Structure 1
Amino acid sequence: MCESFKRQYQLCDEIGRGRFGVVFRCFSPSSHTSFAVKSIDKRLLLDDETDRECLDKEPKILQILSPHPNILQIHDIFDSDSHLLIVTDLCQESTLYDRVVSAGPFSETDACSVFTQLIDALAHCHRNYICHRDVKPDNILFDSRNRVKLCDFGSAEWFGGVEGRERMNGIVGTPYYVAPEVLAGREYNEKIDVWSAGVILYIMLGGVPPFYGDTVEDTFAAVLRGNLRFPTKIFRSISPEAKDLMRKMLSKDVSRRFSAEQVLRHPWVTSGGMTSTMNDMS
């Protein structure tokens, strides 16, 4: 560990292992606050140019986006010849993926609470010309106050503005959540994040992904078809407003797909998931 880190923080227990290193809990005696610190052994990345680029890019992007209540915040960076230490918010161990698996489908109000925070984070990214490009439940954490924290910006890219270009390319993302235009090898824009968030909303409400197959190839083929359905057995009790929003987020026609800002203005979001169906019952 860097000596400068040791002067400011006390290293505690290991809490996870990620793609680039080990994550520990640490404590700041001066602020009496606990944080997470990711310790990355740079010597393991010497031969991998892509990993080095991701490692270099993520802290820069997080610093641009901070502070935002729903994006993992960097508090300190310590760089030595052998290691990079990144001190961030301390989050709970369970991700949104863990919660969906353990609890099953969410109520519309509970789903809307998580979803609105996610979309607010994405809208903030897009206003700053940053596209996350790998939005999935595994990358949605929760802090001690149960607030959503979007993390893992290793695949993120700048677009538009001064820093980047208006459109992006390259196949990135994760099966189930990746947008069809990415798989098709076409240029794309930041609305790929909206597609991924739409898939997450579908899973939170239905408990299953909207596009899937027995193999990765079958799943990709289903995504490319983009044939969105709401099986009655699963979605019988889901409101028309929620289904309308998902249709507008999971539109194959990118020109008709909602932006993150449009999603935030949709009636299902502004009502907090308090749908007309629920109002009729009260």
Structure 2
Amino acid sequence: MFQTLNNDFEILEEIGRGRFGIVYRCFCPLSGDFFACKTISKSLLQDSTDQDCLIKEPKMLHHLSNHPNITHVHKVYEDDNYLHLIMDLCSGEDLFDIISRKGHFSENEAAHIFTQLMAAIAHCHIMGVAHRDIKPDNVLFDSHNRVKLADFGSAEWFGVGDERVKMEGIVGTPYYVAPEVLMGREYNEKVDVWSAGVILYIMLSGVPPFYGDSAEEIFEAVVRGNLRFPSKCFRSVSSQAKDLLRKMICKDVSRRLSAEQVLRHPWVVNGGEMAEET
């Protein structure tokens, strides 16, 4: 006999809300554990693209979620009106909340979070998946304060080995989206590296590298890609951190680092601890 969601879990309070659904805290009486239940309303899916996201996200997460820094899907339930994903519970602040509260981070603090984020992104890319919406709101923390990359609703398969394909379509979020996406070109998984670089820039300085008074102005600044390090914000940031940022927020995709190359950069390897600079 099929067991429904309510047979297996007690649905508790709302802890988050997105474009298509609501996230609740839930409890499993059988195991005694708490989880998150992401409930997606099918009535909000306007077109075939939205419907593809409904099918794609649980498949992506199942494909990727053996990694410690990616949200894990434990069970999936579906009825005529809703899709329910039972996932890791990350009920604390997300990275956006922490940045808003702290303003900026020391290099050690930033490296601790950033390295986990890049490990998750590198795993996605090894598995042939581009997230395509890397932003602080999608960087969550579990009860052990471990980074969990979430929300794969915009993710896309690009394949591995000889089966690799270019991606297209404008997806992402102002401030974080890569210029080649906005220019309507085909692009590859390095769009995630650009976005992660923007996050690191903000963590170290407290300000975004490209900004404007509207989404259009932000997009124009991103497409120009004129990366600067204002002395007021970067006075105490090491040259190696700036070197990493230049190689991630690089408009020339062929020169932009891959996720695995980022993880091998000296600043990341040393956890933000730099030798004294002369």
- Residue 39 of structure 1 aligns with which residue? 39
CA contact under 8 A between 1:228 and 1:250: conserved in structure 2? yes
Report the Cα offset of residue 203 of structure 1: 0.1
Contact 1:62 1:74 in 2 (8 A): yes
Match of residue 267 from structure 1? 266
Quickly say closer, same or farther: Cα 1:225–1:262, change in 2 above 3 A.
Answer: same
* Counterpart-to-counterpart distance in 2, 1:234 and 1:24: 38
Offset of residue 3 of structure 1: 5.1
Check conservation: 1:158, 1:164, Cα contact below 8 A: no
Task: After TM superposition, give the deviation of residue 189 of structure 1 in Å.
Answer: 0.4
2:222 aligns to what SS in structure 1? helix
Alignment pair present for 1:148 and 2:147: yes
Q: TM-score, normalised by structure 1?
A: 0.94
Q: CA deviation at 1:232?
A: 0.8
The separation in 1 between residues aligned to 2:185 and 2:116, in whole angstroms, is 29
> What is the one-letter code of the residue matched to 2:230?
P
Does 2:222 align with 1:231? Answer: no
- Range with greater deviation from structure 2 (158-167 or 245-254): 158-167
What are the within-5 Å matches in structure 2 for residues 38-117 of structure 1? 38-45=38-45, 47-117=46-116
Which residue of structure 2 lines up, in the alignment, with residue 178 of structure 1? 177
Deviations 1:101-156 (A, max 9, x none): 11110010000011000000000000000000010011111111111111111111
Q: Report deviation, 1:243.
A: 0.4
Shift in Å, 1:166: 2.1
Stretches of structure 2 that go unaligned for 5 or more consecutive residues are none
In 2, the alpha carbon distance for the partners of 1:161 and 1:269 equals 25
Structure 1: how far apart are the matches of 2:147 and 2:154? 19
Paired residues for 1:153-172 under 5 Å: 153-161=152-160, 165-172=164-171
Structure 1 unmatched runs, 5+: none
CA distance in 2, matches of 1:101, 1:163: 43
Say if 2:15 and 2:91, in contact at 8 Å, map to a contact too.
no
**Partner in structure 1 of residue 138 of structure 2:** 139
- The one-letter amino acid of 1:109's match is N
Whole-angstrom distance in 1 between the partners of 2:241 and 2:177 = 21
SS at match of 2:194: helix
Aligned to 1:243: 242
Aligned partner letter, 2:35: F
* Letter of the 1:122 counterpart: I
Contact 1:239 1:276 in 2 (8 A): no
Distance 1:163 1:55 in 2: 28
- For residues 163 and 81 of structure 1, do their structure 2 counterparts lie closer, same or farther at Cα, with a shift above 3 Å needed? farther
Per the alignment, residue 25 of structure 2 pairs with 25
Q: Given that residues 36 and 90 in structure 1 are in contact (C-alpha distance below 8 angstroms), is that contact kept between their aligned partners in structure 2?
A: yes
RMSD: 1.7
Q: Aligned ranges for residues 119-138 of structure 1 at < 5 Å?
A: 119-138=118-137
In the TM superposition, residue 164 of structure 1 has moved relative to its aligned partner by 6.3
What does 1:212-227 correspond to in 2, within 5 Å?
Answer: 212-227=211-226
Q: Deviations over 1:76-104 (max 9, x none)?
A: 00112222111000002421011101111
Are 1:105 and 1:205, in contact at CA under 8 Å, matched by a contact in 2?
yes
- 1:239–1:277 Cα contact (<8 Å) kept: no
Kindly, what percent of the aligned residue pairs are identical? 61
What SS class does the counterpart of residue 68 from structure 2 fall into? coil
User: For the structure 1 residues 164 and 28, does the alpha-carbon distance in structure 2 shift closer, same or farther, using more than 3 Å as the test?
Assistant: farther
Q: Give the letter aligned to residue 6 of structure 1.
A: N
Moved more, 145-154 or 20-29: 20-29
1:186 deviates by: 1.0
Q: Distance in 1 between matches of 2:154 and 2:247?
A: 25
| Distance in 2 (alpha carbons) for counterparts of 1:210 and 1:40 | 34
CA distance in 2, matches of 1:109, 1:172: 31
Measure, in 1, the Cα distance between the counterparts of 2:238 and 2:102: 20
Letter paired with 2:33: T
